[in-house]
Structure 1
Amino acid sequence: MDQITGIATGLPAPAPLASAAGAAPGGRPALSADFETFLRMLTTQMQNQDPLNPVDSADFAVQLATFSSVEQQVQTNDLLAGLGTQMATLGMGQFPGWIGLEAEVRAPVRFTGEPVQIEAAVDPRADAAELVVSDAQGTEVARSALPAESGAVLWVGRDAQGRALPEGGYTLSVRSLAAGQTIASHDAHMRSRVAETRLDGGTVRLVLENGQSVAPAEVIGLRPPRQG
């Protein structure tokens, strides 16, 4: 009888009951997937309570109301997550018009062994310029001379000895020089045609012609592709 009394008077909280029910398939909590289990446990608790010290019916109502409230909160969270995905899908509908256009992207360049077109900004006061290449760790791996004027440059991904750099992400910057001194430094922006828009983990991504994926916010310019 003492054991039964302990079960009846020590009312379990909703969270332990949900844990006892286990997790639902697919990673969903049992709290929202197994409401019947809670009712069976509540019924068993009522059947085995100590007749000399019965549990107040209000306590059962509190348990039921608490469980129902938490279950509704879980369902609300699931609904909000679904709405977030739908909103992202709708957002992707803004970018189909970008496909086929040439995008200027402010992001590290993904080098795959093929030449990459970049836009070099050189200070008008400069009499020389150079392209500085750094790897993903920020270490300088290459440096080469550039014309002392702004414009498009084809970066072939070679080091000082003419060897191809390993595939990976690189940051490119242009240093403007006057009388051998650096007077300005600007990031070099990649130019590539937009090939696809994609929804990746609820976030819209643009896939460029070279296979690199970038966020729309990293695109700072669009223009029709150059002919020839």
Structure 2
Amino acid sequence: MRAAGAPAPATASDTGTAPAASGFSGGDFETFLKMLTTQIKHQDPLNPMEGSDFAVQLATFSGVEQQVRTNQLLEQLTTERAAGLGTLAGWIGREVRTTAPIAFDGTPVTLDVQPAAGATEVQLVAIDQHGREASRQTLNPTAAEILWDGSSTTGRDLPAGLYSFKLVSMKGDEILKTEAVGAYARVTGAELTSDGVRLTLPGGASTLETEVTALRDPA
């Protein structure tokens, strides 16, 4: 009971004082900021908030801000990853032309031969998985897709394994250009890596998306 004429005790609704920071839950960054600002504006100047209490609320405020930003970042990363995984499905079952090593198991491999302009002779060089020249053969200096059957320089078939190819374009004795040759292989899998999209090819081969120079449906 209070004396007549005595002022009524202040309440949270009278002063606009926000609930304690420890009770803050389910809100967001802007809500918490408004609550803290209102509390500071309406506190009794003759009985201000203790410095330690104010420090606790500021610390809570900072923690809430960081949590909101972390949640936003996680949501963004989840959305981007889901979108990225969705694009991987489009690679499966397609044929890609890549300059990365591809697997040879006795079945002819389709190569895309593109001689340099003015070449009178071209040499196709096959390189094994150890970086050694496995075969070299002379081709007509015309652009075309050819089937490489794994024949070696000695006439014997090359063993199964991973091979890459290069084309040496010549005019007489002059080498005009040496460049990688694209080989076709079917994609059997795909994954997101720190280097980008990596596509899985038959026989243990793989290629990065950046090494792919063409894409098509299997014949």
> Which residue number corresponds to residue 145 of structure 1?
137
Change in CA separation of 1:122 and 1:58 when aligned onto 2, cut-off 3 Å: same
Query: Cα RMSD between the aligned structures?
Result: 3.5
Q: Secondary structure at the match of 1:82?
A: helix
> Where in structure 1 are there 5+ consecutive unaligned residues?
1-53
Give 1:70 deviation, angstroms.
Answer: 2.2
1:94-105 → structure 2 map (5 Å cutoff): 95=90, 99-100=93-94, 102-103=95-96, 105=97
- Rounded Cα–Cα distance in structure 1 between residues aligned with 2:144 and 2:216: 15
> Which residue number corresponds to residue 167 of structure 1?
161
Give 1:56 deviation, angstroms.
Answer: 2.1
> Which residue number corresponds to residue 83 of structure 2?
87
Q: 2:178 aligns with which of 182, 185, 198?
A: 185
Q: What code does the residue aligned with 2:147 have?
A: L
Contact 1:132/1:142, CA 8 A, preserved across alignment:
yes
Is 1:125 aligned with 2:118? yes
More helix by proportion, 1 or 2? 1
- Rounded Cα–Cα distance in structure 2 between residues aligned with 1:221 and 1:58: 63
Q: What code does the residue aligned with 1:60 have?
A: V
Change in CA separation of 1:205 and 1:160 when aligned onto 2, cut-off 3 Å: same
Is 1:58 aligned with 2:32? no
Q: Secondary structure at the match of 1:111?
A: strand
Q: What code does the residue aligned with 1:147 have?
A: L
Give 1:190 deviation, angstroms.
Answer: 0.6
- Rounded Cα–Cα distance in structure 1 between residues aligned with 2:204 and 2:217: 19
- Rounded Cα–Cα distance in structure 2 between residues aligned with 1:201 and 1:187: 24
Identity percentage of aligned residues: 16
> Where in structure 2 are there 5+ consecutive unaligned residues?
1-49
Which TM-score applies when normalising by structure 1?
Answer: 0.55
> Which residue number corresponds to residue 212 of structure 2?
219
Which TM-score applies when normalising by structure 2?
Answer: 0.57
Deviations, residues 150-169 of structure 1 (Å, cap 9, x unaligned): 3223334565454736734x
- Rounded Cα–Cα distance in structure 2 between residues aligned with 1:60 and 1:117: 70
Give 1:185 deviation, angstroms.
Answer: 2.4
Larger Rg: 2
